[in-house]
Structures are given as C-alpha cells and as structure tokens.
A and B are shown apart, each in its own frame.
Chain A
C-alpha cells in the first residue's frame, strides 16, 4: 500500500482559505487506514471547527472513490459532482492529486496528505514501514522475500555492510538491518547458498519512468 500521513491542518487551511465551496475527495484505494468517506468526513469537521475560529465558513461536499489514480474512474465519478466546486482537497497519495489536477485543470486541487513510500502496516505497533522501492528489478526471489533495496538503509544488494550491530542498522539503531533479516530468513529456508551469488551493480534505469500497460 502507499503510505501517507495527514498534513498539518494549518497548511491545509492555508490552501483552502481563499475558497468556500470545497469538495473533499476520499480514496478507498491503497492507503491504510483507507482515506475513505469517514476520513473525508472527519477532515471536513476539523476544518469547519478550525474555520470557525477564524470566522471562516466553508461549504464542504464530501465524496469518496475506489482509487484516484485511475483516470477513467476520476473522470466518471468527479465530473458530475464538480458544479459550483471552487477547489478540490484530495485525500489520495500524490498520484491521485496529480490525476485530478490533470483531468480538471480548471479547478485547483490540493493534497491533504504527505505521501511517504510503498509499505506495510504493523497493526499491533501502529506503524507503517517501507517495503518496496520500486527499483524495477525485483530481487525478492533470491533474498527470501525481504527486499534489500528498501530494507537495507544503504540499499546494498550484495550483503551486509559490516556496520550491523545486534541486528540493527549502524545509521539508525531503531531500524532492523535488512541483511540480517535476509540471513535469518534464508537460514530458516535452508537457502544460505543464495548469499554466495554475486549480483552486479544495480541498473538505476530499470526503475524507469514509463512502461507499457
């Protein structure tokens, strides 16, 4: 999933202050918790309370959609709703915001979220961590399903750097050493020989900027 966090309310207030009729668009897609209808609704409530303090009145229209990164969905769902809307506040990741901006160039669209990375949630701890760097050359088959590019702080692909201490990274002692995780996993699977395989330097072009659909 794509991991996002809500922007400070002040910042959002600055975006929307010049407008009155604002549409908040939730996205049920890949964020966790989904920034769906309820998030759109509570954000509108918070902004309304914040507006009241500044004698600013908003008129919010609240909708949600399955995914804002799909141009077809964005057009078909938003188009009938935009009449009288002066600005759009998107709860999606940066992709959704750009999709709306491209398709509705006449209406200013603002992000309500900061987009961080592609990651997964540790529900018990209530945290989200990066899992995939979108490198375009997936190594997971060799590394026991643990990505060295995303989970080694240095993104090394040929084993640990030597700075790992008690399974933690030398750059951030809170962060697990990705290569220790890979080692433990391969050991469990009896595949430690995978570590002997040398991998040539990463080709940074593989991530690419456009692929065929």
Chain B
C-alpha cells in the first residue's frame, strides 16, 4: 500500500476549501502566521525525528528547507516571533505549542548548513529595485529571486536588517542575524548597495527606472523616534543633557559603540510600555543602570488600556530588577543645570478613547515625580515622509496612497510600498508585505491582473478531541545574576525536548494542507472516506468516534462527512456496524485480498501484523521473514474485527496489532481505540480458546528496534501455544 510513496510531488500541500463556509480551512496557527508557514506539517515532521542526533540531522535540514522555502528569515523569527502561538488551539487548554522554540531547535543544525545551502538558479528576468534593507525588503527580494528576477536592495545604512538591528543581542544573537541575511543575499543572488540615500540629496524613482528597474518596492520602515507629547503639545525639556531616544541606545549598543559600564551607578528611566521600551530598559540594566519603566498603560494586559509588551518581557524585566510604573504620563521633563533631574508624571486615566484611538486622558491632581540620571524615550517610531512627499506618493491628507491588496501605489504604477512605513507592526508582518509585493511585482511585470484570486478568507480548524492535554514546557532562562550581559539567556530545546513539544501539536488542520505523512513517504496520499448511503443505518457511531468532528448527523437528514476535517484514520469504519463506510487505499476488499494472499504465501507458523504506519514507518520497507506478513494501516484504529477473524479463518496462526504509544498517536485517540477493539475481540476469542493468538502492542517510530522485539516475543508465544496444542 505504500508503493506510490516515492512520488515526491505528491507531498505538495493543497488549499482546502471548507465546502460549508467557502473559506480556506487551515489550522489557526497557520492563519495567524503572517508568512503562512506550514506549521502543522513541519511540527509533525519534528515529532517523528529519530532519537539519534546524527541520524536526525539530515532530516532536520530537510525540515529546515521546507520552512526556508516559505520563510528564508525563519532562523531570525525563531528568536523574536511567536504570533502563531497566540492563536494555537492548545492555548486555552494547557498553553500553546512552543513553535518558536521548535524552530529555534532546527536552527542549531540548520544554520551551519545554511552557509553552504545551494543558491537558486541565476536570475534572468527583469530588474527590480527594493528601497530599504529591512525584513520586508529581504523577504520581497527572496521571493522575487525565486521567480527569477534580478533584485537590487538599496539601503541607506551600513548594513542590512532594518529594524531587526534594534533587537538587543541577548534576544537575537548577532551571528544568527548575520548568517541568515548573508545566506539569503547569496542564495537569491541579490545585489546590495549600502549607504544609498533616496530623495533630494540622493536617488529618485526616475533614476531607478532609468537604470532599467521595471518595478520598485519601498519599505523604509519607521526610523524616527517619536517625541513625548501631552495634550497634543510637545513636552518641555527633551533638550536636556541625559535625555535620549531609546532607539539610539539600541542601535549604538548593537554596533558595539557603548561602554559596558555606560550606566554604572545611574538611575535610568525608560518611558514606554511596548516591547521596544522593554528592550531599552533591559539593555540599560545590562549596561549597569538601575533601570525603571514608566508607561501610560495599566498593568492589566487583558484590558483595552493594558500594557502592550509581551508577558515574557514583563516577567523577564521584573526578574532583572526593573521597576514598572504603570498608568503614568510625562507632563514635564525637569532639569537642573542643563541636566536631566526628574519627570513630572500625572496619573493616566485612559489611553484609548471610545473609538479605539490613542487619546490619553490624565488626572492632573494626582502627580508623582520620578527622579533619575538618564531618561530614555521609547514611545514609538514614525516614518520619514520627505521622500514619499517628493515622489508624490501621498494623498491630500499626507497619507500613503496604496492599494491595500496589492500594495501598489495608487499614484504611480509599478511602485509598491509596504512594511512598517505602511503600518507599524511585527517583523513578520513586514515580511508578509514583502511577499505580497513580490507577487504583485511579478504580475505587474508580466502584465497580468494584479488582483485576481488574491482576496482570501480563512477559517480556523476546530480543536480535535483529546483525552488529556499535556502541559506546556516552561521556558528556561539563565538566572538573573548570570544573564545581565548580551549573551542569549533563553535555553534552547534538545532533540528530545523538541520532539516532545512537537508531539503536543494537535494537528488540527486538514490533512491535505499538511501532508507530512506523504512527504515522509509512508502514506501514498491523503485517503478519502467513502460513505455508502444505502447501507447507513444512521446509528451515529461515526459521529461519536470521529476525533475531528468530520462526521455529522443532523435532523432531518443522513450522515454526512466534512472531508476537509476528516484525517483519514479509519476509526469510524472499524466502528460502523453497517459496513457503510470505507477508506480510499484501505478498502475493506483490498485488505481482505491482501490477507488471503499473505495467508497463502506465508510459512508456518503464520504471523500477520497489522501495523500503524505512523508507528512503524522507518521500517515499512524492511523485508519480512517467510513467516511474517504485514498489513500497513493509516492508523491502528482502522483495524477491524472482521479482518482479524478473516485472517484466522484463512489459517493465520497469530495476529499482532501494532499501534503507536498512546501519547504519540497522531490522532490522539487512535491507539486507544485500536486497543479497545482488540481487547473486545480477545474476550470473544477466549470463549473458543484463541485468545493467545491475538495480541496488541505499542511501539514508537523513534525506536524501530522495539518493533523487532515485540515481533519476536509474539512469534515465540505463538510457537509455544502451537506446540502445546499439538501435544
């Protein structure tokens, strides 16, 4: 049944449309990921890695290649992103699957390979210029490179990376960023021009067109720090000595321009409640400062006015001794002798107004003063607009005039704009803009419709049924006294930890959009369930047993199957009392034929093994001995009383049902139900003395040796029964 497996192209994932809603059906994590990484697919692959790291490493690299193909910046994402985890179906049970850490685990083996990863074919198509060297541009460059375009990135600064370069090294090690970006540039044959200024004192869009670029993507980000304001007016005192922008500190810090004792003995106050403000405070702490944070937002993260920084940042900063003062604004910066001394902080009553707009309100009768030596303002960033103004890309109200679906400027054809300059967000969101722009640029250059088929609606898959939910592993951080430096302090997963965590994934999404099993070549394709309505007696067994709610019985009406939700395990077939269901590739008839064939070919004592492919895939192609016959099942729960009895009738001496360990079961419930089926039948067989000829066992695909042990044990027990009977 696994003969068709080597056809690699079958492993390509497909878009699954939920017929009921007409929407694209995906696991919620994949919808949440701005890049749309194939999270379920690669989690399933990690879960099946062998325990030996040498053996696992080549598979880790091919998993990395899978992710790289969609997200060449994933090694960076694995330190800084976790958007998928916010939507994980597991989140409200025992905590999201730690996908970020899983990817980080891949890094350990993938990064060394990345330096030698073969490049894409040399580009031969038109020239495209990308302005700005941040994640949006890098992503756009790679996607265009894949399509064969000649891409040039123009960056104002001295290195690529954009806003990623502000991330402190204790969170994102410099070598990870450098290796990832250098590899991308090399692999996609990107030409990089550093120190290029755009606008009046530099190049214009016309210059780029004259140089032969057929399209331009502009993603210049938000390099300017916002100044403090109150009631719409600037706050006095920003010019004082000791007042600076947090962003400048981060930039200087990452370029190694700062003394490690810069803030020794100094009280550093950081204004701002976002992740960047926490980066600044924790950087200041690492530079010897006594750091504290003051922000407008309140402590309660669940409220509308809650502090926006991630909970990990807040916890980490608190551990490091950083004090956080919430619900306070800055009305005035007060100095003494030209030097910063303190800030006047009225109580902030609300941050956002009813319309959801940033419009803070204060109670000026409740004021505190915070004293310090350094004030770091980190309350957000703004784009540099002059270039857009000069090129006529803004509308009458001074906003970028862009088509939000294609990212093409409504003012100039062939000019595409994205990333933070369009809408400030996460790095992955800027990267998504890069992907969108690359698709638009390709269509634009080819003269195709820019919009056709691009408006997509998604529906998140529901949470599958599980008996219990495994707890989320804690993140392991170095203790505070060891981590007040710029070395990464988060401990990565070992191979075992990664496999354990990947196994928590519920694989909620539809099989066709995952196909990990097909890619690993142990399943020919995703099988379809087939219902014979004439035979169905509407007992509802399939509805009860299906762990994915794929079977439905509504009043009035017959049983129906949602094929996008069906995971093709075949449990419903084993439990159907009416023989009304069947499974593609594992048809009842086909299994019967195979049983007859094996029973006639095998030598005595004849041992037939019903094997779950997930449990035994590394050894599926091993040649059995003349006494052994294998029937490979899509899941052990497909094992059917009928087939077991049929094998006995055909003269088989012993039958072994081999399932996954219950905790490994890809469908969660399959192994348990297979055991149930066997136990029930064994009871009946006991009445006719055949109970010792049927056995259930669990094995792990990660330890193929166990398979042999179980088989030998069973073989010997059947031999023993046989000789006892013949006496």
Chain A residues within 8 Å of B, Cβ to Cβ? 6, 8-10, 28, 32-39, 41-42, 45-46, 48-50, 53, 64, 66, 123, 126
Contact = CB atoms under 8 A, between A and B. Distances in A.
Contacts of B690: 49
A10 B544 contact: no
Contact of A37 (B575, B579, B645, B687): B579
10 contacts: A6-B684, A9-B684, A28-B539, A34-B539, A45-B646, A46-B684, A46-B685, A46-B688, A48-B649, A49-B645
Given A41-B642, A45-B642, A35 B577 contact: yes
B687 A36 contact: no
A49 B649 contact: yes
A170 B689 CA distance: 39
B645 A66 contact: no
Contact of B539 (A32, A45, A46): A32
B577 A10 contact: no
A35 B648 CA distance: 22
Interface of B: 535, 537, 539, 541, 544, 575-579, 641-642, 645-646, 648-649, 676, 684-685, 687-690
Contacts of B577: 28, 33-39
B539 A38 contact: no
A6 B649 CA distance: 21
Nearest to B686: A9
Nearest to A13: B688
B645 A45 contact: yes
Given A41-B642, A49-B645, A66 B578 contact: no
Contacts, number: 64
Nearest to B539: A34
A64 B580 CA distance: 13
Contacts of A36: 537, 539, 577-578
B688 A50 contact: yes
Nearest to B676: A126
Contacts of A37: 535, 577-579
B692 to A, nearest CB: 14
A212 B641 CA distance: 43
Contacts of A126: 676
A41 B592 CA distance: 14
Contact of A9 (B537, B539, B649, B687): B687
Given A33-B577, A34-B578, A46-B687, 16 more contacts: A9-B684, A28-B539, A33-B541, A34-B539, A36-B537, A37-B579, A38-B578, A41-B579, A41-B642, A42-B641, A45-B645, A45-B648, A46-B685, A48-B649, A66-B537, A123-B544
Nearest to A11: B687
B645 A42 contact: yes
9 cross-chain pairs, A with B, having the tightest CB-CB distances, nearest first: A45-B645, A28-B537, A9-B687, A36-B577, A50-B688, A34-B577, A34-B539, A38-B577, A42-B641
A196 B210 CA distance: 95
B688 A45 contact: no
A53 B684 contact: no
Interface centre among A42, A48, A126 (most CB of B within 10 A): A42
Contacts of B684: 6, 9, 46
A147 B537 CA distance: 29
A53 B649 contact: no
A48 B541 CA distance: 27
Contacts of A46: 645, 684-685, 687-688
Nearest to A42: B641
A128 to B, nearest CB: 14
A133 B649 CA distance: 42
B578 A28 contact: yes
Nearest to A28: B537
B474 to A, nearest CB: 32
B580 to A, nearest CB: 9
A33 B539 contact: yes
A32 B544 CA distance: 12
Contacts of A45: 642, 645-646, 648-649
A190 to B, nearest CB: 29
A9 B688 contact: yes
Contacts of A28: 537, 539, 577-578
Nearest to B688: A50
B524 to A, nearest CB: 27
Contacts of B541: 33
A46 B690 CA distance: 10
A10 B687 contact: yes
A46 B688 CA distance: 8
Nearest to A48: B649
Contacts of A35: 577
Nearest to B646: A45
A203 to B, nearest CB: 35
Given A32-B539, A33-B541, A38 B688 contact: no
Given A33-B539, A49-B648, A49-B649, A38 B579 contact: yes
Nearest to A1: B539
A7 to B, nearest CB: 10
A32 B537 CA distance: 12
Contacts of A9: 684, 687-688
A188 to B, nearest CB: 26
Given A38-B579, A45-B649, A53 B642 contact: no
B641 to A, nearest CB: 5
A53 B578 contact: no
Contacts of A50: 687-688
Contact of B537 (A34, A41, A53): A34
A183 B551 CA distance: 36
A126 B535 CA distance: 25
B115 to A, nearest CB: 54
Given A45-B649, A48-B649, A123-B544, A38 B537 contact: no
Interface centre among A33, A38, A50, A64 (most CB of B within 10 A): A38
A53 B725 CA distance: 11
A9 B685 CA distance: 9
